[in-house]
Amino acid sequence: MNIDTRGRRQALRALTGMAALAGLSGLARANDKYPDKAITLLVPQPVGGDADAVCRLLQPHWRQALGQSLIIDNRAGAAGNIGTAAGARAPSDGYTLTFVNQSTMAINPFLYKDPGYQVAELEPVSLMTSIDLIICAHPSVPANNLAELLEQARRRPGAFTYGTAGNGSANHLAGEMLKSMAGVNLVHVPYRGGGPAMIGALGGEISTVVAFPLAALPHIRAGKLRALATTGSTRSAALPRVPTVAESGVAGYEFVSWMGLVAPKGTPRSRIDIVDRATRRALAEPDVRQRFTEGMTTAVGQGPEALRELITKESGKMSALISRFHLKID
């Protein structure tokens, strides 16, 4: 046997072995029944807030798309740090997912000396939504819109308060941006989540609240709160008569939040892709899109790469704002 013939036979055996390994790999994927049990979704915000509302709206559609139950586990506290840290420590088997947003991925890591987790410990899964916020007032506040409130706030510094989901939350930064750009002194009142802040606003504990729409809109429509302005670049179809902050005399103001899903670092990409596809399918359901449209929420439905890119971009933007406003939480 000459060297060329022997070399061809060795190459053929190598290719055959590679094909066999590929077949075994494909078989392993075929036999991976993921998910074959319930998946836990850690939501680092309390029941009744915007995050909880979005997740519970999607919950039955996730169950249908995944073929297994998705159990929502609210782990509120420390502006989302507690639940997010628990998600980072969870096994990387795809059976624990964590809801994330602008606060936990792009604000808290720069606001807290030690939030209890690192963004690098979490693997992006899906970018779910983008959301404009609403600045709402208790009916007792003598202002029909934000322009009127700002005018009064300039005459009476410190007389009006605004509530948020907590120190360093997206709501808080949106409020601080407003104060800075409008040149007014509004007193910040932090709560332990969006739900408690909404309760405070409804009870008249605070003058105004910077809120996410899914939690605020029912109370606005019931006349229990007055919408003063929205934080996006254009008016919302859900509140067409309510001006944006920029239209209210604060030129250049825009603040948009977002929501997504992550898994612990090391979670198999095949399982991440399964959850991502299920999430996109859930977001495409007509009833979900209708509820989102009514709730000033945009269903984005993009995958891991889009979420990773957004986290990087927003981290730069939010860290700059935190430095500008001299915010820090030990």
Condensed to tens digits (0 to 9), the pLDDT of residues 233-252 reads 999 989 999 999 999 999 99
β-bridge pairing 161-164 and 70-74: unpaired
For the chain, what percent of residues have pLDDT higher than 70?
Answer: 90
Separation of alpha carbons 259 and 125, rounded Å: 11
The 10s digit of each residue's pLDDT in 200-211 is 999 999 999 999
pLDDT of residue 142: 94
Average pLDDT, the chain: 89
Residue 20: which pLDDT band, with cuts at 50, 70 and 90? very low
Nearest alpha carbon to residue 107 among 97, 122, 119: 119
Residue 1: which pLDDT band, with cuts at 50, 70 and 90? very low
Whether 9 shows a pLDDT value over 90: the answer reads no
Whether 291 shows a pLDDT value over 60: the answer reads yes
Residue 11: which pLDDT band, with cuts at 50, 70 and 90? very low
pLDDT of residue 14: 47
Whether 302 shows a pLDDT value over 70: the answer reads yes
pLDDT of residue 204: 95
Mean per-residue pLDDT, 82-104? 97
Mean per-residue pLDDT, 263-277? 98
Whether 23 shows a pLDDT value over 90: the answer reads no
Separation of alpha carbons 24 and 16, rounded Å: 12
Sign for the CA dihedral angle at 215, 219, 222, 228 comes to negative
pLDDT of residue 51: 87
Whether 288 shows a pLDDT value over 90: the answer reads yes
Instruction: Give the pair of three-digit tokens for residue 269.
Output: 């990409």
Separation of alpha carbons 244 and 27, rounded Å: 55
The 10s digit of each residue's pLDDT in 44-76 is 988 877 788 899 999 999 999 999 999 999 998
Mean per-residue pLDDT, 184-194? 91
Residue 330: which pLDDT band, with cuts at 50, 70 and 90? low
Contact assessment for residue 245 and residue 230, using Cβ atoms and an 8 Å cutoff: yes
Mean per-residue pLDDT, 160-186? 92
Separation of alpha carbons 322 and 328, rounded Å: 8
Element of type H or E holding 62 = helix 50-66
Residue 18: which pLDDT band, with cuts at 50, 70 and 90? very low
Whether 175 shows a pLDDT value over 70: the answer reads yes
Residue 293: which pLDDT band, with cuts at 50, 70 and 90? confident
